[in-house]
């Protein structure tokens, strides 16, 4: 059993039960972790709280060195981390290598950005005054991390929160806790005890306790809309800072000028990376009615070439889904679409050659519409539902006809269509011809029901800093506008 990390020590805490961690490609148990309790959250929060003043007052250079050391250690342990990540989460090794590189460079990026500045000087209203802005850490940050990118989405929260001067309590997903504990043991171990803590457990027992804790002013969460709404309902009366990234239903629009073969590869990558289990996965594809057959033929042909298998197999293009519950939900969406008139052109079921593991074939559907669940609700599975449009204005209307607004993709070289797309589509990230690519300096986050949080960039650092305005008058003297009024 891998133990929790509280106040610089590995401990079972008050847990009396264990949570088994399953390999989604084989259904075998890899290891287990303690089923944490509210008492364990209390211990972790108090440890983080006790170190907050020390950590926030630490010189920026020293704090930056700590973050650089995290990056160095992750790089040193990269091969073992990638292997463990593939075992517990299921993505192919190549995708996990990219995830770990993102972790390394996120810590490097915020190590430097954290000492770049902590505020600004304003033009003062009077010659005797000095006005400036200070950006300060909040205190203890609760980071609730999902299973689909358990290290990348951890780093996107932890690195800027630490760089800003906060201390941390991490609640990893109960499905993928092992890599977070590995980082605690080998990559976070140089941090002063209590600055960073990891408590394993289920959401109702540890996650909710973290959200409810009065000494945790910030909750950073990535996950489902329903869970985010519950967190908001708990946190709002306590006036917590809520950093919520709540998923999406991203669209890809293929314009008439797009090359069908290139569009097919772009769509397959955007829709099927990590078996479609990405908040920014393309879950709706809109193609022009003119030439639709060519686009559909190219997409179906390309998807048929993709190889399913365990992530550790170097020939694998797409790995398993994370668990049976998630696969069953996905299958229900496919069945509902089919019963409502959708046509399955390839896929649609479980692969017959993979009897173990939570695999599902990549599935291309046509004849879909916005009345179907698969075109409305987040799918989080390997589906490519394709709908035709008659005009580019209609394509934009269809793209915006969604409660989510995380991202959107356009495949086109038509400059007028490109400008219309990024002007009119309501989404936090717009990708033109290069889907799902991020930039460390570019803020990531959504609009509408995807939540208003921003990760990466300076905006990602500011999510973990609150603003203080200092108004300083050098002259300690009686002001003419003080009481009593009417004096000469």
Among all residues, which ones are annotated catalytic? 245, 279
209 is written with which tokens? Answer: 């306790």
Residue in 384, 407, 386 with CA at minimum distance from that of residue 248: 407
The dihedral over CA atoms of 8, 13, 17, 20, expressed in degrees to the nearest 10, equals -10
Q: How far apart are CA 202 and CA 206, in angstroms?
A: 6
Q: How far apart are CA 297 and CA 351, in angstroms?
A: 22
Distances (CA, A) of 396 to 163, 263, 264: 39, 18, 20
SS3 for 277?
A: coil
Residue in 412, 451, 449 with CA at minimum distance from that of residue 430: 412
DSSP assignment of 322-370: S-HHHHHHHHHHHHHHHHTT-EEEE--S--TT--SSS----EEEES--T
Measured in whole angstroms, the distance separating CA 410 from the mean position of its chain's CA atoms is: 22
Q: How far apart are CA 144 and CA 171, in angstroms?
A: 5
Helices (H), 356-475: 392-400, 415-424, 457-462
The dihedral over CA atoms of 215, 220, 221, 222, expressed in degrees to the nearest 10, equals -170
Q: How far apart are CA 422 and CA 402, in angstroms?
A: 16
Question: Which pairing describes strands 282-288 and 250-254: parallel, antiparallel, or unpaired?
Answer: parallel
The dihedral over CA atoms of 214, 191, 36, 178, expressed in degrees to the nearest 10, equals 140
Residue in 45, 268, 71 with CA at minimum distance from that of residue 140: 45
DSSP assignment of 283-329: EEEEEESTTHHHHHHHHHHHHHT--B--TTSTT-SB---S-HHHHHH
């Amino acid at each position: 059993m891998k133990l929790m990390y509280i106040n610089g020590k590995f401990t079972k805490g008050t847990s009396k039960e264990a949570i088994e961690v399953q390999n989604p490609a084989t259904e075998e148990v890899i290891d287990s972790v303690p089923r944490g309790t509210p008492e364990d959250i209390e211990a972790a929060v108090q440890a983080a709280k006790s170190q907050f003043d020390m950590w926030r007052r630490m010189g920026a250079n020293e704090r930056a060195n700590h973050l650089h050391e995290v990056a160095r250690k992750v790089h040193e342990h990269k091969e073992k981390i990638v292997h463990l990540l593939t075992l517990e989460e299921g993505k192919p090794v190549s995708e996990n290598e990219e995830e770990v590189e993102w972790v390394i460079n996120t810590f490097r990026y915020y190590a430097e950005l954290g000492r770049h500045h902590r505020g600004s000087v304003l033009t003062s209203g009077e010659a005797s005054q000095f006005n400036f802005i200070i950006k300060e850490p909040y205190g203890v940050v609760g980071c609730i991390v999902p299973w689909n990118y358990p290290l990348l989405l951890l780093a996107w929260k932890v690195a800027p929160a630490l760089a800003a001067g906060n201390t941390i309590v991490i609640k990893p997903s109960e499905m993928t806790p092992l890599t977070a504990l590995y980082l605690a043991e080998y990559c976070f171990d140089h941090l002063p005890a209590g600055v960073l803590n990891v408590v394993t457990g289920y959401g109702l027992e540890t996650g909710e306790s973290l959200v409810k804790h009065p000494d945790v002013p910030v909750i950073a969460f990535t996950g489902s809309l329903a869970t985010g709404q519950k967190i908001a309902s708990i946190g709002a009366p306590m006036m917590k800072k809520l950093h919520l990234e709540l998923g999406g239903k991203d669209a890809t629009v293929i314009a008439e000028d797009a090359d069908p073969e290139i569009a097919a590869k772009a769509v397959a990558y955007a829709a099927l990376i990590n078996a479609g289990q990405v908040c920014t996965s393309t879950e709706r594809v809109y193609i022009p009615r003119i030439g639709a057959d060519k686009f559909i033929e190219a997409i179906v042909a390309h998807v048929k070439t993709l190889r399913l298998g365990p992530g550790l197999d170097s020939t694998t293009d797409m790995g398993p889904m994370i668990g049976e519950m998630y696969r069953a939900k996905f299958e229900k969406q496919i069945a509902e679409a089919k019963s409502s008139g959708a046509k399955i052109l390839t896929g649609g079921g479980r692969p017959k050659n993979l009897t173990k593991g939570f695999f599902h074939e990549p599935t291309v559907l046509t004849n879909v519409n916005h009345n179907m669940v698969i075109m409305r609700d987040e799918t989080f599975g390997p589906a490519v539902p394709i709908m035709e449009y008659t005009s580019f204005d209609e394509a934009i209307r269809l793209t915006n006809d969604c409660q989510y607004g995380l991202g959107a993709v356009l495949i086109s070289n038509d400059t007028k269509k490109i400008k219309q797309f990024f002007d009119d589509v309501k989404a936090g990230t717009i990708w033109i011809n290069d889907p799902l690519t991020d930039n460390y300096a570019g803020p990531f986050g959504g609009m509408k029901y995807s939540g208003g949080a921003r990760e990466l960039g300076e905006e990602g650092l500011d999510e973990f800093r609150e603003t203080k305005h200092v108004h300083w008058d050098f002259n300690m003297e009686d002001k003419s506008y003080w009481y009593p009024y009417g004096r000469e």
